[in-house]
Amino acid sequence: MASLLLQLVGLGVALAAAALILVSIVAFITATKMPPCHRHEEEKFFLNARGQKEALPSIWDSPTKQLSVVVPSYNEEKRLPVMMDEALNYLEKRQKHDRTFTYEVIVVDDGSEDQTSKVALKYCQKYGSDKVRVITLVQNRGKGGAVRMGVFSSRGEKILMADADGATKFPDVEKLEKGLSDLQPWPEQMAIACGSRAHLEKESIAQRSYFRTLLMYGFHFLVWFLCVKGIRDTQCGFKLLTREAAARTFSSLHIERWAFDVELLYIAQFLQIPIAEVAVNWTEIEGSKLVPFWSWLQMGKDLLFIRLRYLTGAWRLEQTRKVS
């Protein structure tokens, strides 16, 4: 009996090893190269307040603003105004109190099928194209791809990622700024502050089904086990990066959809970029594009493939690349 049990255990281990080897081979073979950094011709310009085309700047240029806010938006005509009103009210008040403070908000319309660009352009007309710019992508790239296009067009010394739903209270950017400052001295001027909802976990569990709670814990375990250590909430869409950290990490990014945050932080930890996790105020907003089971299943697969593709050398961290 003991001999049979040992044989079964040995068979199970052998099958698990074979499955891991097979999955690694699949991950290696199906690995795509870096998503192209080039823009379509229409994506090289933004419309100013007078409706005229102007060439977009590049992250490789010297910064001319203190803060760039990148807002990825896909079919957000209804939720975007609430976020933009709060953000711009805060930014304008801050500028009135501190005349040296400068900012820009870059709305990246990720190939929307609604009036997202038209809604965003109203803010450009109201505040001027030096403060609000709209980039309309020819086709949907995914949230990570949209953020990257906005980052590559930014002028800020610091770059803030902010979701279009306004779930995070915008004034909490000051908490991220403090978290970033506390990391100094920054190696090669690189540092990242991540907004975090981890302190709200107990409250959110009470409002979720057991199934969704199980999915959440499973996802968190996979993130910790496969990719990112020490960051409890990798998915909060409120992140502040120094210009140098943004250029370095986004230049090495492969994932363009929901799991891009994990790869971004995986790259940052690999490069030993200091990261602060900062608690922020957050409210769940209706209209999420995530489908709980299938989206999390896709992200779980992405996490496994991120790890395997870097381990097998299918993906490598390259030198910083310029966008064309």
Q: Give per-10-residue mean pLDDT for the chain (324 aa).
A: 57 51 53 64 87 91 97 96 97 96 97 95 95 95 94 98 92 96 95 88 53 69 87 92 97 88 95 95 69 69 87 76 53
* Structural contact between residues 59 and 95, judged by C-beta atoms closer than 8 angstroms: no
Q: Would you say 282 and 203 are in contact if contact means Cβ atoms under 8 Å apart?
A: no
Task: Please tell me the predicted confidence (pLDDT) of residue 167.
Answer: 86
Instruction: Establish if 170 belongs to a structural domain.
Output: yes
In a domain, 21, yes or no: no
**Please, are residues 159 and 246 in contact by the beta-carbon 8 Å criterion?**
yes
Any domain includes 31: no
**Is residue 12 included in any domain, yes or no?**
no
Task: Return contacts of 113-117, CB within 8 angstroms, 24+ apart.
Answer: 113/75, 114/75, 114/76, 114/77, 115/77, 116/73, 116/74, 116/75, 116/76, 116/77, 116/80
* CATH number of residue 52's parent domain: 3.90.550.10
Distance of CA 244 to the CA centre of its chain: 16
Q: What is the pLDDT of residue 30?
A: 56
**Domain housing 132:** 36-312
pLDDT in the model for residue 258: 77
DSSP 103: E
319 inside domain: no
List CB contacts of 67: < 8 A, sequence separation 6 or more: 91, 101, 102, 103, 104, 156, 157, 158, 159, 160, 173
The count of domains in the chain is 1
Among 183, 203, 201, 202, smallest CA distance to 192 is for 183
Which tokens is 125 given? Answer: 């007309």
Whether residue 218 lies inside any domain: the answer is yes
Nearest to residue 234, comparing CAs of 315, 161, 127? 161
User: Residue 10 domain-assigned?
Assistant: no
The whole-number pLDDT of residue 200 equals 67
- Whether 321 maps to a domain, the answer reads no
**pLDDT score at 18:** 56
